[in-house]
Copies of this chain bind each other. A is one copy, B any other.
Amino acid sequence: MSSNTFGKLLSVTTFGESHGPAIGCVIDGCPPGIAIAPADFVHDLARRATGKSRYTSQRHEADEVEILSGVYEGKTTGTPIALLIRNVDARSKDYAEIAQTFRPGHADYTYWQKYGIRDPRGGGRASARETTMRVAAAVIAKKWLKQRYGVEVHGWLAQIGGIRPELSEGAAIDFDSVESNPFFWPVAAQVPELEHYINALRKAGDSVGARVNVVAVGVPPGWGEPVYGKLDAELAAALMSINAVKGVEIGAGFAAVVQNGSEHRDEMRLDGFTSNHAGGILGGIASGQDIVASIALKPTSSILIPGHSMNTAGEEVEVRTKGRHDPCVGIRATPIAEAMMALVLMDQALRHRAQCGDVGEVSPRIA
């Protein structure tokens, strides 16, 4: 019920402000017996971390995860798993001068309108620092999905400003390439161009939007639920809840607007579907094809170019955001989008098991 909790059966509650003492999460409903150690979190947290390259924010956080509960002798016990990360590189004074000012494009104004009080240090709770815990929680989800069902989730940067990966249509994504560069970009040859583009943006004190794609491979047909618990509806909420996301597509997405039915519908042959405009979901339930989603991220609002705004006294002011920021928040949204898809899938997997028994139990079925 709480707005800081995600998931129905695998439920993740996050807490913490950008410049408070710590961020953390509590993961409840996790099956027992999963091997989990602090080292498991290093890889994905590093992928998400700001400061990993010159192309994202220069804040440096070690992001060391302490497991406070729910794991005994290296295995989950079925009780709540609390993860804690201390904030180390918090520089609250960077934000002193904007405590009474609403930065354009930020949640400063709306938090103040809602609560009548807000923590102005680095955006407080509205900071993307919160997403660290989503990625941490999803480490467990990814591991379980992989081990138990062979499901894998992969994301990549699919557009940054006007630049798209130079791939022929339908070409498979090379995930080694994606992981080999700081942009999660699937075409290694374009990386120098991206570096040049981002550097120019930084110099101009501006930022740009991006598109991230994320896909789940190996999802068994049947996961998902009808009507309001649709797999695509929950993916939409999960992805839209990521900071800066302004749009979500499943499968063909907005391209479906101009498609005819004879083109869009995915036909089936003996050896399977002949296309995947549905993005692997029909009626809210997985079809067994790849689950495919794409999201739009707005450009970073914290930029050096001054903008008009208001302060809490009702005066018009000019704002020029200092501090350490990404010219394109979309880049590091890639592992976050993977995380949200993994959490949705694990939650739906548990719900499917509750109602229908484990995969393969209900019969008869093809496939």
Contact = CB atoms under 8 A, between A and B. Distances in A.
A286 B109 CA distance: 10
Contacts of A232: 240-241, 245
A240 B284 CA distance: 9
A259 B208 contact: yes
Interface string A338-367: 000000000000111111111000111111
Interface string A102-131: 101111011111111111000011100010
A172 interface: no
Nearest to A125: B79
B32 A13 contact: no
A160 B68 CA distance: 36
A356 B114 CA distance: 7
A9 interface: yes
A366 B260 CA distance: 49
Interface string A1-15: 111111011010111
Contacts of A350: 354-355
Given A11-B1, A257-B161, A365-B116, A354 B356 contact: no
A357 B358 contact: yes
A80 B115 contact: no
Contacts of A222: 110, 113-114
A316 interface: yes
Q: How large is the interface on A (under 10, 10 to 19, 20 to 34, 35 or more residues)?
A: 35 or more
A252 interface: yes
A45 interface: no
A111 B28 CA distance: 16
B11 A28 contact: no
A300 interface: yes
B125 A227 contact: yes
A4 B364 contact: no
A266 interface: yes
A24 B82 CA distance: 9
Interface in A248-270: 248-270
Interface string A129-163: 01000000000000000000000000000011110
A2 B105 CA distance: 34
B207 A261 contact: yes
B105 A265 contact: yes
Among the interface residues A26, A227, A247, which one has the most CB atoms of the partner chain B within 10 A? Answer: A227
Given A15-B81, A22-B69, A110-B222, 11 more contacts: A4-B79, A16-B82, A17-B79, A79-B226, A104-B268, A206-B260, A246-B251, A253-B296, A254-B296, A259-B299, A358-B358
